Each structure stands twice: as structure tokens, then as C-alpha cells.
Amino acid sequence: MKKTRSKNVNLTNLKLLFYELTKQNSLDYFTSMMNVIHISAECYPIAKVGGLADVVGALPKYQENSGVKAMVVMPFYDNAFTRKHQFKKIAEAEISLGEKTYAYQILRLKKNTLSIEVTFINVPELLFKDYVYSDDDTERFMAFQIAALDWILSLKQKPSIIHCHDHHTGLIPFMLQECYRYKELNQIPTILSIHNAQYQGWFPHDLMHYLPAFDISHNGLLDWDGVINPLAAGIKCAWRVTTVSESYMEELQQDANGLESLLSHERDKCVGILNGIDTSVWNPETDDMLTKNYSINNIQTGKTANKKWLCKEFGFSLSKPLFAFIGRLVYEKSADLLPEVIDKALSEKNCNILILGSGDKAIEQQLEELKLKHPTNYNKCIGYDEQLSHRIYAGSDFLLMPSRVEPCGLNQLYAMQYGTIPIVHSTGGLKDTVTDVKDDGFGFRFDHVSVQDCLDTIQRAVTYYEETPNLKNIRKTMMKVDHSWDASAKKYNDLYKSIKTS
Ligand code: ADP
Ligand code: GLC
């Protein structure tokens, strides 16, 4: 039989050296109140690929406001943020993945200018890369998870909750429950938040020996359909499982990329909690990325100024309604339909369309080529641009989100916060946050994902734009809705407390 255990590293041999454990930089952080450690691959503004970063960068702030201490543990990447800031070393040690040993350091910002506390895990050989995700994720995130737990094991005051996000941290609940090395931590409740069940982190059983030693007869906890499935292992072993909207929780029972029966089986420990938005970042009144700030009191002039900038930048006429799409160009977001939708919409309807996104190379190519056919009423920015995204939320009239799958979706929340009308497929979090204008709401919804349904809904929106004398009223109404994290952060805190008291 294959060797399934890593070298049994004795923690006392780990050379876990603590540097300058001053009050400020470390353990006084953990007070007697409930303290949670979020473990995540992304966190805004440090490293962002999508909405996971926004959530992990915001939720801890709001949890602190409602009385739960929260910090984030994440990988140390080679990116603009880490190049721009200075870090101090808190500890260093080694971990083993199978036969290989890797040195790692625990880092903190020398001067914390963020409004959250972040601890970085630097495994130079594996994590310090200029990307977050790639083909080598199995080794990278395995090392990250083991180093994170070793560090937590070394803390004098342990966290009261360990909150994991997505499959990159899905092995943590298993390791805490099963690995001999973490026995001392196995009473700490674990939460797994599923931001997207499409991605599960699968890897073959012959890499099981990367994990610290555990009772091999329990290896079924790692398995789903014959491979190791970190998301499935997380669902099985976490004390509670959350998803990022109630509707998505329901939908996962029918469509979870193969995990339907598991989620159905574990239903009692699962709950949907809707994401919020960080109003210290996403507020048109204070957002310094905009060309002009505005509020509900000067919405008309504010939005027009931002639209003017977009129209000038992308060569559009100001008079037509501007539809925008921002996002990853992937199947889940229905990005494959965009080229045909754009082509037909611009041939038939009186509007302009702007795309900001990157992803599937074939879709990128098609979106590039469309510019030749529609030079005056279509434009695109293929790539990732945080500042431009803010300007598009502010300056567009409508935001398109035809997603096939949308666990929560933050774009529609940002759009509404900036007075931009969302056009969404009725799924997941989109269904939970956008009400159609025909039901006295402030958006447009459609029930089936198809080119025709998108086109029909765009037509409905164009007509609405042309026939509604006072569009600013609907914009005002949607801007008044509170999408901040306050209510949802409280729900997470209540969930933690319910575990501690049950
Ligand atoms: P997902 O996480 O599935 O990509 P979300 O709606 O939760 O979708 O969050 C997407 C986040 O990423 C938003 O903050 C959105 O503004 C941002 N985003 C997506 N694509 C881009 C891009 N090309 N440039 C700038 N921001 C982007
Ligand atoms: C995922 C989902 C998205 C959600 C985000 C943050 O990336 O695709 O719908 O908003 O996570 O939870």
C-alpha cells in the first residue's frame, strides 16, 4: 500500500521562533471576547480575483463593529500590494509535503494601514508568485493550510472559531478533526463558507501523503467520487457550512457540480447568509476612484458627470442608455452569450454597450473583434481594472448580469449602491437582491438564460429608459436600500455564538 502519511514532524522540533512579540503586533489581539480567524486565498485590497476578496476584506471589519474580534490569514503573494508595503517577520518554521520540506515565514505589515488585521503566510517556493490561482494550486494551498494551522497551534491564546473560505481552505476542518498533530485544536469549531461550489480543488489520492498523519481508515472523509475533494472534505468535517445567499443554498441541493447528495445529507448544518458591501469602499459620496462624487441629493448631475467621462473615454454618445458588463469571462457568468447578445442588441436597439472583463481567451477574442463591427456604440476593456470598475458602476445606466450561476454576486449590489439599474438572470443571490420594476422594484429580471431572453430584457430596459420621465427617482430608491454588511455580519456572529452555546 502507498505511504499515506507525511513525515511525522514533531512540533517541538519545528524551530517556531517568535520575534518581537510585542503587545501590538500579536497576541494581545486575541482578547477574552470571541475571536475568529478567517483563512482565505484572497482579501481586498491585498489580493483580489473576484468577490471572495471583497467579502474577506469587509466582513471582519463589520464583525468587529458587532463585538467579535476577527483577523484574516492569507498567503503572501508577489503582487503590487506586497511590493508597496513593508513587512515584519513574526515567526518562521518549516513544513513538509511528502518528502519535500519548505521553509515559511509568518509576516505582518510593519505599519498596519488596513482597517483589518492580516497575518501573511509566506512559503517563498510555493506561494510567493504573481498569481493567486494556477495549475499548481494543490501544493500551494496544501502548504498554506498546514502552515496556517501550525502557526495557530503555536499561539498561546487560540481562536474561538476558524472560518474557512472555499476549497483552498477546505482541508482545514478535516485536518483539525483528524490529524494527530492538531489534536490540541480539535475543539475549535470550524465554519466553511462556500462562495462557489463549481470549484472544488480535486486532486488524486496518491497526493494524500501531503497531509499530516491521520488514521488512514478515515480517508473516506477526503474522498468524493474517487478523488480527493477538498470542498467535499470541508463540507463533511466543518461544524457549520454557509453559502453566500439563501437561494444559492437551495439551488445547491439540485446543482452543486456533483456534491448535491452530500449537501442534501449535511443540510442541517448548512445556512445561507447573504453577502453585504463594504460601504467604506463602495460609496459614491466618498469613492475617490470616481470622476465626481455624488449622493441621492445630486444623483442626476453626479451620474451624468461620471457617464460623460466614460463616454469620452470609450467614444460613446451621451444621449443613449449605456449598458455595462463587469466580470470574469466564464461560462457561469454567461460570458459565452455576450458576443451574440451585443451584436444583436447593437444592430437592433438604441444603446451603447461597454465590457470590462477577462477570462476565456476565445470569448476575449470575440469581444475584441466586435469592435470592428460596432465602432461607435460598443467598446471593451479586456483585463482587470479596479478603478475603471468603480467608474463604470457610477457612470452606466444599466449593469448586465446574465449569470447562469451566481452564488451571491456583488456587482448588482455595487450597481444599486451607485444608482445603476441591474439586469439579472433570476438565480442565486441575484434573485435574493434584485426585484423587477414590474413588481415595484428597481431592476430587470429574466427567468431563462438565452440570447433571446437577454435581448428581450435589454429592450425592456431601453423602453423604460426612453419612457420614464424621472429615472432619478428609481435610482434614488435603490440607493436608499441598505446592502451594507451590518445585518449579515451579525448573522455570522450569531451563528458562531449558537455553536459555542449548543
Ligand atoms: P465573482 O466573485 O464570481 O467573480 P462577484 O460579483 O462576487 O463575482 O464579484 C466580482 C468582483 O470582482 C466585483 O468586485 C467586481 O467589481 C470585480 N471584478 C470582476 N471583474 C473585474 C475586472 N475585469 N476589473 C475590475 N473588477 C472586476
Ligand atoms: C463567488 C461567487 C459570487 C460571490 C462571491 C463572494 O466568487 O461566484 O457570486 O458574490 O464569491 O461571495
CA of 51 to the centre of ligand 2 (A): 5
> What ligand has the least distance to the C-alpha of 488?
2
Check if 41 has its Cβ closer than 6 Å to any atom of ligand 2.
Answer: no
User: In the β-sheet with 444-446, what is the strand arrangement from edge to edge?
Assistant: 378-382, 352-359, 322-329, 398-401, 421-425, 444-446
CA of 48 to the centre of ligand 1 (A): 9
Name the helix (H) or strand (E) containing 191.
strand 190-194
Determine the Cα–Cα distance for residues 161 and 34; give it in Å rounded to an integer.
Answer: 8
CA of 110 to the centre of ligand 1 (A): 29
CA 433 centroid distance within chain: 17
Return all residues near 477 (Cβ < 8 A) that are at least 6 apart: 442
The DSSP code sequence of 330-370 is SGGGTGGGHHHHHHHHHHHSS-EEEEEEEE-HHHHHHHHHH
Determine the Cα–Cα distance for residues 244 and 252; give it in Å rounded to an integer.
Answer: 11
Mutation probe of ligand 1 site: the residue of 40, 49, 54, 434 with most atoms within 8 A of C-beta: 54
> What ligand has the least distance to the C-alpha of 52?
2
Name the helix (H) or strand (E) containing 242.
strand 240-243
Check if 408 has its Cβ closer than 6 Å to any atom of ligand 2.
Answer: yes
> What ligand has the least distance to the C-alpha of 329?
1
At 354, the amino acid letter reads: L
Determine the Cα–Cα distance for residues 248 and 429; give it in Å rounded to an integer.
Answer: 7
Determine the Cα–Cα distance for residues 25 and 21; give it in Å rounded to an integer.
Answer: 6
CB-CB contact of 358 with 364 (8 Å)? yes
CA of 332 to the centre of ligand 2 (A): 11
- Smallest CA-to-CA distance from 59 within 380, 340, 410 is with 410
CA of 454 to the centre of ligand 1 (A): 20
Question: How is residue 284 written as a grid cell?
Answer: 459614491
Return all residues near 390 (Cβ < 8 A) that are at least 6 apart: 282, 287, 289, 290
CA of 277 to the centre of ligand 1 (A): 13
CB-CB contact of 294 with 302 (8 Å)? yes
Nearest residue by C-alpha to atom 17 in ligand 1: 50
> What ligand has the least distance to the C-alpha of 330?
1
Q: Would strands 240-243 and 227-228 be described as parallel, antiparallel, or unpaired?
A: unpaired
Query: At 18, is the secondary structure helix, strand, or coil?
Result: strand
Nearest residue by C-alpha to atom 11 in ligand 2: 195
Nearest residue by C-alpha to atom 9 in ligand 1: 51
CA of 51 to the centre of ligand 1 (A): 6
Determine the Cα–Cα distance for residues 257 and 197; give it in Å rounded to an integer.
Answer: 7
Q: What domains, with CATH codes, occur in the chain?
A: 34-278+486-500 (3.40.50.2000), 296-481 (3.40.50.2000)
Burial of 276 (0-12, 13-18, 19+ CB in 10 A): buried
Task: List all residues whose CB is within 6 A of at least one atom of ligand 1.
Answer: 50-52, 54, 326-328, 356-358, 384-386, 389, 408-411
- Using the atom order of ligand 2, give the atom closest to the CA of residue 429: 9
List, in sequence order, every beta strand (DSSP E) within 256-342.
270-272, 322-329
pLDDT value, residue 17: 42
CA of 294 to the centre of ligand 1 (A): 23
Strand partners, 179: 214
217-226 CB contacts, 8 Å cutoff, 24+ apart: 218/178, 219/4, 221/174, 221/177, 221/178, 222/171, 222/174, 224/200, 224/258, 224/259, 224/262, 225/258
Nearest residue by C-alpha to atom 7 in ligand 2: 51
Determine the Cα–Cα distance for residues 192 and 119; give it in Å rounded to an integer.
Answer: 19
> What ligand has the least distance to the C-alpha of 278?
1
Mutation probe of ligand 2 site: the residue of 408, 427, 488 with most atoms within 8 A of C-beta: 408
- Using the atom order of ligand 1, give the atom closest to the CA of residue 411: 6
pLDDT value, residue 19: 36
Check if 195 has its Cβ closer than 6 Å to any atom of ligand 2.
Answer: yes
- Using the atom order of ligand 2, give the atom closest to the CA of residue 428: 9
Mutation probe of ligand 2 site: the residue of 40, 49, 52 with most atoms within 8 A of C-beta: 52
- Smallest CA-to-CA distance from 103 within 90, 122, 120 is with 122
Name the helix (H) or strand (E) containing 312.
helix 299-314
Query: At 22, is the secondary structure helix, strand, or coil?
Result: coil
- Using the atom order of ligand 1, give the atom closest to the CA of residue 393: 16
Alpha-carbon torsion 429, 389, 281, 112, what sign? positive
The reply to whether the predicted model has a pTM over 0.75 is yes
Determine the Cα–Cα distance for residues 319 and 116; give it in Å rounded to an integer.
Answer: 43
- Using the atom order of ligand 1, give the atom closest to the CA of residue 412: 6
pLDDT < 70 regions, the chain: 1-32, 501-502
pLDDT value, residue 501: 66
Check if 196 has its Cβ closer than 6 Å to any atom of ligand 2.
Answer: yes
- Using the atom order of ligand 2, give the atom closest to the CA of residue 406: 9
